[in-house]
Amino acid sequence: MANVYIIREDGGTEPMTRVHCKDEDRELQSILERNPDLLPGDQIDPEDPRRWLLVKREMPVPDPNTGSDRWSIDFFFVDQDAIPTFVECKRFADTRSRREVVGQMLEYAANGPYYWTKETIRNFAEEAGKGKGLTLEEALRSLQPTDDASADAFFERVQQNLREGQLRIVFFLEESPMELRSVVDFLNKQMERSEVLLVEARQYLLGGTRIVVPTLFGYTEEARKVKRSVTVTTAASRRKWDKDSFFADVRAKLTDAEVQALETLYGQTLSLGYQITWGTGTTGGSFNVKEPSMCPRSLLTVLSNGNLSLNFAWLNGSEQAERGRERLKELIAQHAGLKIPDDYSRKWPGYAIADWGNKVGVILEVLKQLSTEFRREMPNIPLQTDR
**Complete domains list, the chain, with CATH:** 14-228 (no CATH), 243-377 (3.90.1150)
362 within 8 A of 333, measured Cβ to Cβ: no
pLDDT of residue 304 exceeding 90, the answer is yes
Q: Which residues contact 308 (CB under 8 A, 6 or more apart)?
A: 300, 301, 302, 350, 351, 353, 356
CA torsion, ordered 354, 355, 359, 364, to nearest 10 deg? -110
Distance of CA 10 to the CA centre of its chain: 38
Reported as a pLDDT band with limits 50, 70 and 90, residue 99 is low
**Which one, of 363, 361, 380, lies nearest residue 299 by Cα?**
363
What pLDDT shows up at residue 381? 46
Question: Which DSSP string corresponds to 279-305?
Answer: ---SS--EEEEE-TTT-SSEEEEEETT
Q: What is the mean pLDDT of the chain?
A: 85
Tens of pLDDT, residues 271-301? 999 999 998 887 889 999 999 999 988 999 9
What pLDDT shows up at residue 373? 93
CA angle 316, 320, 322 (to 5 degrees): 40
Highest mean pLDDT range out of 208-217, 251-260, 343-352? 251-260
Q: How many CB atoms lie within 10 A of CB 219?
A: 20
pLDDT of residue 382 exceeding 50, the answer is no
pLDDT of residue 2 exceeding 70, the answer is no
Percent of the chain whose pLDDT exceeds 90: 44
pLDDT of residue 306 exceeding 90, the answer is yes
Reported as a pLDDT band with limits 50, 70 and 90, residue 223 is low
Mean pLDDT, range 258-264, rounded to an integer: 97
Give the predicted TM-score (pTM) of the model: 0.74
How far apart are the C-alpha atoms of 1 and 157, rounded to whole Å? 40
Run of H or E residues at 41: helix 41-44
CA torsion, ordered 42, 46, 48, 52, to nearest 10 deg? -20
What pLDDT shows up at residue 98? 58
Tens of pLDDT, residues 155-168? 999 999 998 888 99
What per-residue string of b and e applies to 39-65 under the rule 16 or more CB within 10 Å gives b? bbbebbbeeebbbbbbbbbebbbbeee
Mean pLDDT, range 319-335, rounded to an integer: 94
271 within 8 A of 278, measured Cβ to Cβ: no
pLDDT of residue 375 exceeding 90, the answer is no
**Which one, of 356, 186, 160, lies nearest residue 261 by Cα?**
356
Q: Which residues contact 183 (CB under 8 A, 6 or more apart)?
A: 102
Mean pLDDT, range 341-350, rounded to an integer: 88
What pLDDT shows up at residue 224? 64
pLDDT of residue 97 exceeding 60, the answer is no
Tens of pLDDT, residues 66-75? 666 777 899 9
SS3 at position 143 = helix
E strands, the chain, where?
5-7, 13-15, 17-19, 53-62, 69-78, 84-90, 168-173, 195-206, 209-217, 275-278, 286-290, 298-303, 308-310, 350-351
Q: Report how far apart, in Å, the C-alpha atoms of 117 and of each of 69, 114, 120, 160, 282 are.
A: 15, 8, 5, 10, 24
The number of residues in the chain equals 387
- Start-to-end CA distance of the chain, whole Å, equals 38
362 vs 110, which has greater pLDDT?
362
- β pairing state of 84-90 and 168-173: parallel
What pLDDT shows up at residue 106? 85
**Choice among 5-19, 43-57, 59-73, 322-336 with the minimum mean pLDDT:** 59-73
How far apart are the C-alpha atoms of 346 and 312, rounded to whole Å? 7
pLDDT of residue 12 exceeding 60, the answer is yes
Reported as a pLDDT band with limits 50, 70 and 90, residue 177 is confident
pLDDT of residue 179 exceeding 50, the answer is yes
317 within 8 A of 363, measured Cβ to Cβ: no
What pLDDT shows up at residue 318? 84
Mean pLDDT, range 347-363, rounded to an integer: 94
Q: Which residues contact 14 (CB under 8 A, 6 or more apart)?
A: 5, 6, 8
258 within 8 A of 265, measured Cβ to Cβ: no
Percent of the chain whose pLDDT exceeds 70: 87
